[in-house]
Amino acid sequence: MKRTGYIFVISMILAAAPAAIAQSSGVFEKTPVSPSMASSDVRTVNLTLEQCRELALQNNTAVLNAGLDVAAARARKQEAVAEYFPKVSVTAMAFYAFDPMLELELTDIIGDSPFAVGLSNTLNQYAQQYGFSSMYSTLKKGVVAHVSVMQPVFAGGRIITGNKLAGLGVEAASLQQEIQLRTTAEEVESGYWQIVSLEDKLASLEQVRIMLDTLYRDVLSASDAGLALETDLLQVRLKMNQIRAGETQLRNGIKLAKMNFFNSIGLEYNPYSTFSRDSLPRLEDIRLTDEISELLPPENYYRTAEEVAAGQEEMKLLDLSVESKRLEKRMALGEALPQIGVGVTYGYNNVIDKGSMNGMVFGMVQIPISDWGKTARKVQRLDAQMQKASNDRLYLQRQLVLQIHKLWLDLTASWEQLQVSRENADMAETLMVRMQDQYSAGMVAVSDLLQAQTQFTQAESELLDCQIAYRTALRSYLDKTE
């Protein structure tokens, strides 16, 4: 930003410090390079606002997590789709018992009648005579293995409803991602212009210090010649010390703001100027190059709040919230409906008899009777939640419209403050020029000149702050309306 008023503070400024002015205006700036090109022979990294946005989209933790939420929601949807397909399972079991789990005698089969007892005794005699057992035993060891396929035919509509809910989850995660991208872009722009503002104020103080150095030499010469008082010299030195203290505070503030900003966009840097790390650029060598462009009045961007609110991601999320509650109610109703499935199983069995392969086809109908009362209470609870979501949607819709109205009021207020600050800066510059003329003519004291200079510096600083505030307010409004 030009500060033409400084030229009039003292006529010898350009002769006194040409190198300092050239350095503050960027004459010694290195060739612009990409942030990824930092090396031992690269001294400066120049970053535009758009490059910072791109870095944030690649490295910001909140943005990356929002993308992971979308990926998780899509995986959940694919998981729900799997419910449409048959469930295939393989079961295998082998066992060995210390004693047979089933033992039968003849009387266990035909009863305890006298005939059965006599026949059993005769069988026992022959068994002892010929060496075989009169008792049948089994289930001492065995192997079972089979493959089953189960296809749900009807599950109370819960499979279809579950897939719709999963689809809503994907849509909601995508909307949340869009909101996070917008929020991150706003934060990046705010942080970017904060640093630009601080650096511009530092450049202003450096130019003021240069002019005070020149003024100090003039007052010192006049004091030696008996044309100025010692108090004039002390006032100039006091002002010079104030400027130096302000420069120190600003430099520290710029370093902290840069570190916080670069951490948020994932840009690595060397925070220490005294330690060499060839792979990373030094903090002070990373420069933000964008300048504030021409600012147009708010009327150029106006849109009705109701129209803007209807297209907001937040509004769509509210609609999804109501729809999800409706689907949850359908899921609950499905729990009270019959479930129908068909299946087939085939496998090997070697438990009671000789091992053999066998299979079967089966159908299953499950009717939940005892859960009807529980399901009815659950549906009532979800009815209340659905009505609550509908009420929240209506309320938050009005709040969203109110937020857009507030953004517009903030934008117009920032524009009005900007116009006032411009007028103040012009008046302060005019006053400083006239005070300089009067000081040169010996009509005013040094203190009056220093006060006029301070007022001009403050007015220029306030003008810059108002420009940054208007641009930030404009970005917030455009992020909602574009």
Do residues 95 and 199 make contact, with C-beta atoms less than 8 angstroms apart?
Answer: no
DSSP-assigned letter for residue 225: T
Q: Which tens digits make up the pLDDT trace of 79-100? A: 999 888 898 999 999 988 888 8
Do residues 155 and 358 make contact, with C-beta atoms less than 8 angstroms apart?
Answer: no
Q: What is the largest CA-CA distance in the chain?
A: 152
Residue type, 88: V
On whether residue 111 sits in a domain, the answer given is no
Predicted local distance difference test score (pLDDT) of residue 407: 92
Q: Give the closest residue to 179 by CA, choosing from 332, 318, 346, 334.
A: 318
On whether residue 204 sits in a domain, the answer given is yes
Q: What are phi and psi of 145, to 5 degrees?
A: -150, 130
Q: What are phi and psi of 223, to 5 degrees?
A: -65, -40
* Domain range for 458: 4-30+61-101+139-265+292-481
Grouping H, G, I as helix, E, B as strand and the rest as coil, residue 284 is helix
On whether residue 107 sits in a domain, the answer given is no
Q: Which tens digits make up the pLDDT trace of 128-141? A: 777 777 777 777 88
On whether residue 358 sits in a domain, the answer given is yes
On whether residue 18 sits in a domain, the answer given is yes
Predicted local distance difference test score (pLDDT) of residue 112: 75
Q: Where are the beta strands (DSSP E) in 68-211?
A: 87-96, 102-104, 136-138, 141-154
Q: Which tens digits make up the pLDDT trace of 293-312? A: 778 899 888 888 888 888 88
Predicted local distance difference test score (pLDDT) of residue 257: 93
Predicted local distance difference test score (pLDDT) of residue 24: 33
Predicted local distance difference test score (pLDDT) of residue 451: 86
Q: How many domains does the chain have?
A: 1
Residue 482 has pLDDT above 90, yes or no: no
Predicted local distance difference test score (pLDDT) of residue 275: 65
Mode of pairing for the β-strands spanning 141-154 and 286-288: unpaired
Residue 269 has pLDDT above 50, yes or no: yes
- Count Cα atoms within 13 angstroms, Cβ side, for 45: 22
Mode of pairing for the β-strands spanning 136-138 and 102-104: antiparallel
Tokens of 83: 């419910």
Kindly write down the DSSP assignment for every residue of 353-419, as one continuous string.
SS-EEEEEEEEEEE---TTHHHHHHHHHHHHHHHHHHHHHHHHHHHHHHHHHHHHHHHHHHHHHHHH
Whole-prediction pTM: 0.70
What is the rounded distance in angstroms from the CA atom of residue 369 to the CA atom of residue 26?
Answer: 82
On whether residue 158 sits in a domain, the answer given is yes
On whether residue 280 sits in a domain, the answer given is no
Predicted local distance difference test score (pLDDT) of residue 23: 32
Predicted local distance difference test score (pLDDT) of residue 259: 93
On whether residue 43 sits in a domain, the answer given is no
Do residues 356 and 334 make contact, with C-beta atoms less than 8 angstroms apart?
Answer: no
Indicate which CATH number applies to the domain containing 462: 1.20.1600.10
- Ranking 3-12, 55-64, 363-372 by mean pLDDT, the lowest is 3-12
Predicted local distance difference test score (pLDDT) of residue 176: 93
Q: What is the CA radius of gyration of the chain?
A: 42
| Stretch 254-268: mean pLDDT | 92
Would you tell me how many other CB atoms lie within 10 Å of the CB of residue 129? Answer: 8
Predicted local distance difference test score (pLDDT) of residue 3: 36
What share of the chain has pLDDT > 90, as a percent? 25
Would you tell me how many other CB atoms lie within 10 Å of the CB of residue 13? Answer: 20
